[in-house]
Amino acid sequence: MTLLTGPSRGVRQGAPRRVSSALRPWLYLSPLLLALGVWIYGPALFTLGLSVLDWNLTTPPTGFVGADNFARLFRSADFWQALGQTLLYAVALLPFSTVVPLLLAIMLWQRPGRASTVYRSLLFLPVMMAPVAVAVSWKFMLNPLLGLANEVVGWFGIPPVNWLGDPSTALLVIVAVTAAKVTAFNMLLYSAALSGLDRRTIEAARLEGASSWEITRFVVAPQLVGTTVLLGTLSLVLAGQWVFTNVTVLTQGGPDGVTDNIYYRIYTLGFEFFETGTASAAAVIVLLVFAVAGIGWRLVRRSHVPR
């Protein structure tokens, strides 16, 4: 054995092996890096480039316009309204992403059995249904002259409401219709988190004489903080995208822009008016807002970590 693996033979085989071991991680990573480059970072850079051009997508770009697209957006009341509405959606949907599904999941978890399974299935139903079909159904139900919703409120002596045409109710309707789906989906995620709880801590608390409420408040809830932070963050970041289908089908951003949001505005600019440069500039601004928020969040967290 020793003779066969002598020094000269070892040198010849060692070099390629070192190269191979250095390349191997990159080879493993390459499919993912390629996909990220092609589908995420490449288009992001392309968008950045488009944001300084005046281009309607169908004729050649008319030229470099510098920061004109950004300036036009900053001057546009519609753009600021859309940004503000995006924030409003994030805040309005936050409890439906966290508190409500958490309570539902705990209630069902505390009462296991066939009824619980049936309720869970019924609550999860909105997630299974086609989003556009659901939105169209709501449109029929909310018809101000013939819809079921006004029939029902009429039983209580309330006059007909123009649910989607009145600025004071349209946003609430979009939030409510979207919340049904978000709550259902997040309830399932909370249920999954609950099934993974450390049962020994619950049994120990029970042996110590803790009440059901105390177990929920001091044993179960703390173990769901990670899930809650995740779902809350996702809600803040994605709320504007979640309402997109309902806004498209039910209100198209109206009335008076109260149901608009930045994602629908970008879509409108890009694919209805074909103002590709302005739409790209809006997308870049959204990216920057999230980047600043992310960096700010990290700095805040770092300042609170004990050294």
**Which of residues 146, 204, 229, 292 is near other proteins by CB under 8 A?**
146
**Which of residues 37, 42, 167, 294 is near other proteins by CB under 8 A?**
167
Find the farthest-apart pair of alpha carbons in the chain and give their distance in angstroms, rounded: 100
**Which of residues 23, 33, 35, 57 is near other proteins by CB under 8 A?**
57
**Which of residues 144, 176, 206, 232 is near other proteins by CB under 8 A?**
144
The residue whose two tokens read 């309720």 is 119
Total of residues contacting other proteins (CB under 8 A): 23
The region of 116-124, 125-133, 159-167, 175-183 touching other proteins under the rule CB under 8 A is: 159-167
Q: Decide if residue 165 touches other proteins (CB under 8 A).
A: yes
In sequence order, the 6+-apart residues with CB closer than 8 A to the CB of 199 are none
Q: Decide if residue 211 touches other proteins (CB under 8 A).
A: no
The region of 24-32, 92-100, 157-165, 193-201 touching other proteins under the rule CB under 8 A is: 157-165
Helices (H) and strands (E) in the chain, counts: 16, 2
Of the two residues 72 and 206, which places its CB atom closer to other proteins in the complex? Answer: 72
Q: Is the peptide bond before 255 cis (omega within 30 degrees of 0)?
A: yes
- Whether residue 76 contacts residue 299, with contact meaning beta carbons closer than 8 Å, is answered with no
The residue whose two tokens read 């806004």 is 247
Q: Decide if residue 272 touches other proteins (CB under 8 A).
A: yes
Q: Decide if residue 21 touches other proteins (CB under 8 A).
A: no
Q: Decide if residue 274 touches other proteins (CB under 8 A).
A: yes
Q: Decide if residue 58 touches other proteins (CB under 8 A).
A: yes
Q: Decide if residue 145 touches other proteins (CB under 8 A).
A: yes
Please return the burial class of 137, using the count of CB atoms within 10 Å of its CB with bins 0-12, 13-18 and 19+. Answer: middle
Spatial distance between the Cα atoms of 96 and 238, rounded to a whole number of angstroms: 13
**Which of residues 116, 143, 201, 241 is near other proteins by CB under 8 A?**
143
- Whether residue 98 contacts residue 104, with contact meaning beta carbons closer than 8 Å, is answered with no
- Give Cα separations from 244 to 86, 175, 238, 260 (angstroms): 11, 11, 10, 9
Q: Decide if residue 232 touches other proteins (CB under 8 A).
A: no
Residues forming the site for other proteins (CB under 8 A): 56-59, 72, 143-146, 162, 164-167, 252, 254-256, 271-275
